[in-house]
A and B are shown apart, each in its own frame.
Chain A
C-alpha cells in the first residue's frame, strides 16, 4: 500500500503529519510526504504520479472544509477516484461535514497513531 500524506493550504503545523508518517513507515506501509504549502492540484498531481492508494490531508488552521471542497472539485474535474482522508484540528461537527463533502474519513487531533494505521490497513484489506 502506498500512502501520500500532504499539507494543503498555508498551514505550517507539520509535527502531527510527520509523526503519522513515522508510524505508517514503522507499520511497513510505503509513505510519501508532499512537504508544506501545497495546492490541492499539486497534491493530486503527486498522488497520480506515485499511484497512491490513499491521500491524507493534514490541516490544523481551521481551513479543512474549504480545502476539502477544493479536493472534491479537483477529483471530480479530473475524474479521479482516490480514497482520501483528513486529519487535524477538526471539530466533531465537521467530521460528518467532511464526509458529506466526500472525504472517506476524518481524524481529529488526539487520535492515536495506531488507530489511523489500523484504519489504513483495513482499507487495503477491503480493497483486495
Chain B
C-alpha cells in the first residue's frame, strides 16, 4: 500500500513549520528504508533513545529554573524545591553577573538581583549553596558570557568543601555562540569567546570528568525565530565548533563528547517536534561516530534538556498555557529527553509564583505517575508517520548544516551576523503571520474573548537587597588579601596574552575572592569586546 498525497486524496495541502508537506496518510511503504527497523533503544545511532530501558529505570530529571535576588533567598528557594521532590537545580543569574559587571558598577544600577541571583565573589556562591549536598543534587548554571568564572567558582567551592572534584557533577549552559544569535550576553569577540568555552571543556576533560561544561542551546535560537530544522542544525554546527576546538587541544573525542549536552525548545506541531528530536539524535550520533571517529557509544549520545518553550505561551487566556505545557511535556517524554523543564503558565507576563511553579512540577509528575509514560521505551517507534518524518528531519538538518558551511562556518556566520539576519527575518514573518491570523493561535487570533488584560508583574525590585549586596562586596574587598588579588588578576592577563587555558588562573583568582567584574575586565584588556553587527 502506497501512502497518498494531499493531491491524490483531493484535500488541501498541509505544510509543517519546517516546510515539509505532510501526507494525509502514511503507510509501511514510507518507511521501508528506515534504519529504525533493526534498531533497539540504546543502540547506535540511538534514534529510539540513548538507553536500552530509558524511563523504566529512572524517569527524566525534573529541573525547574530558579534564582532570586540574593544568594540568601536563592538558597531558601533551593531548599523549598528540594523538599518538593526536585532532583536538579537550574540556577538563574542577574544580568550584571551574566554580562560581567559587579554590583557596585554603575552599569549594574537597577539590575542587581532583578532576573536572578547576583554573584560578585565566591562568597555569594558559598551562601547560595549552603547545606546543598553537591552529591545528591545536580546543579545547572544558566550562565554564558561569564561561564568560565562561575564554573571556576563551582569547582573552587567544591574543593574548599573537601569534595573530590573528579567526582563533581553538574552542568553549565556555557554556550556562547548561541548568545550572539539570541539572548545576547556576549562579552568578548566571537573567536575569543569560543576559546574560553574550549578552555572549560579541556579543563573538565582532564580534572572534572563528570561535569558537563557545555549545554548547547537550540532553544534560544528557536525562540529568536529559527524553525525546528534550523534549531537543530545551528545547534549542531555550534557543538561541532566547540568539538573542533577541543580536538585542536589534543584531547580525544571520547574524553569529552559524552559530557556535551543540549538544550532544545518545544512548541508548535507535536509530531514535528518528536521527529525533530528522533532525527536529530540519529544525525548527531552519526556525526560523532562517522566524522569524528568516536569509539565509545556514550560519545554519540544526544543528551538533552527539552522543555516547554516560552515562545508557545500566550499572555491572552494564560490558563491555556497549562494545557499547552502539558502537551509540551508529553512531546518531551515521547522524544526521550533526559531532563525536562516547563515554563510556568504565567511566565509570558510575570515571574512565576510558587503556585504556578508547582503546577509545572505537578504536570510532569502526573505524566510520570499516572500516564504510563515510563512503561515502555520510544512508544511511537514504528509509527509510519513518525518514522517517515524522522528520516526527513535527519536529511533536512544535514542540508541546513551545509548552508552554514557555505557561510564559512558558524563562527563566521555569527561574527558577520548572517544567522542573526535570517533568524530575525523569520521572527518578523512569524509575528506577522500571527497578527494577520495566518498562523492560528488559540486565544490570540482565534477563540478570543474579551478578557481583562492580565496585569504584568515583576518581583518588586528589592533596593535594600541590592544595597546589601553592594555593602557585602565592599566588606569583602576590604577583608580579602588585595596584594594576592592583584597578583591573580595580573596572572590572568598574562595567561590570556600567552594563549593559555584560563581555568587554572581563574580558579586561583576566585579563591582569593577576585570579583566577576575584575576578572572580566582583565580579560577584556587582552581580548577586547565583541562589536555587534546590526541586522534586522
Contact = CB atoms under 8 A, between A and B. Distances in A.
B536 A91 contact: no
A23 B459 CA distance: 32
Given A110-B315, A113-B435, A37 B184 contact: yes
B93 to A, nearest CB: 11
Interface in A11-55: 11-15, 17-19, 21-23, 25, 31, 33-37, 39
A35 B182 CA distance: 12
Contacts of A39: 107
Contact of B111 (A61, A93, A113): A61
Given A15-B223, A35-B532, A10 B95 contact: yes
Interface stretch (B165-173, B379-387, B425-433): B425-433
B427 A18 contact: yes
Interface stretch (A62-70, A75-83, A96-104, A118-126): A62-70
Contacts of A114: 435
A57 B432 CA distance: 21
Contacts of A36: 184, 532
B428 A18 contact: yes
B183 A12 contact: yes
B304 to A, nearest CB: 23
Contacts of B459: 62
Nearest to B458: A62
Contacts of B182: 14-15
A66 to B, nearest CB: 4
B450 interface: no
Contacts of A11: 95, 184
A9 B111 contact: yes
B109 A66 contact: yes
A127 interface: no
Contacts of A112: 435
Contacts of B184: 11-14, 36-37
Contacts of B453: 92
Find the residue from B115, B183, B428, B534 having the highest chain A CB count within 10 A.
Answer: B428
A89 B114 contact: no
Interface string B320-357: 00000000000000000000000000000100000000
Interface string B414-425: 000000000011
Contacts, number: 95
Contacts of A108: 456
Given A18-B427, A35-B534, A63-B111, A113 B461 contact: no
B114 A22 contact: no
Contact of B428 (A10, A23, A63, A110): A23
Interface string B213-244: 00000000001110000000000000000000
B104 to A, nearest CB: 15
A123 B458 CA distance: 31
B102 to A, nearest CB: 13
Interface string B292-323: 00000000000000000000000110000000
A37 B223 contact: no
Interface in B164-192: 179, 182-185
B96 interface: yes
B153 interface: no
B99 A91 contact: no
A31 B459 CA distance: 33
A86 interface: no
Given A11-B95, A108-B456, A22 B461 contact: no
Interface of A: 9-15, 17-19, 21-23, 25, 31, 33-37, 39, 61-63, 66-67, 89-93, 108-110, 112-114
Closest 4 CB pairs of A and B: A12-B184, A66-B110, A10-B95, A22-B428
Given A9-B95, A14-B182, A109-B315, 6 more contacts: A9-B111, A10-B108, A22-B425, A63-B110, A63-B111, A90-B456
8 contacts: A10-B111, A11-B184, A14-B424, A18-B427, A19-B428, A22-B428, A63-B110, A108-B456
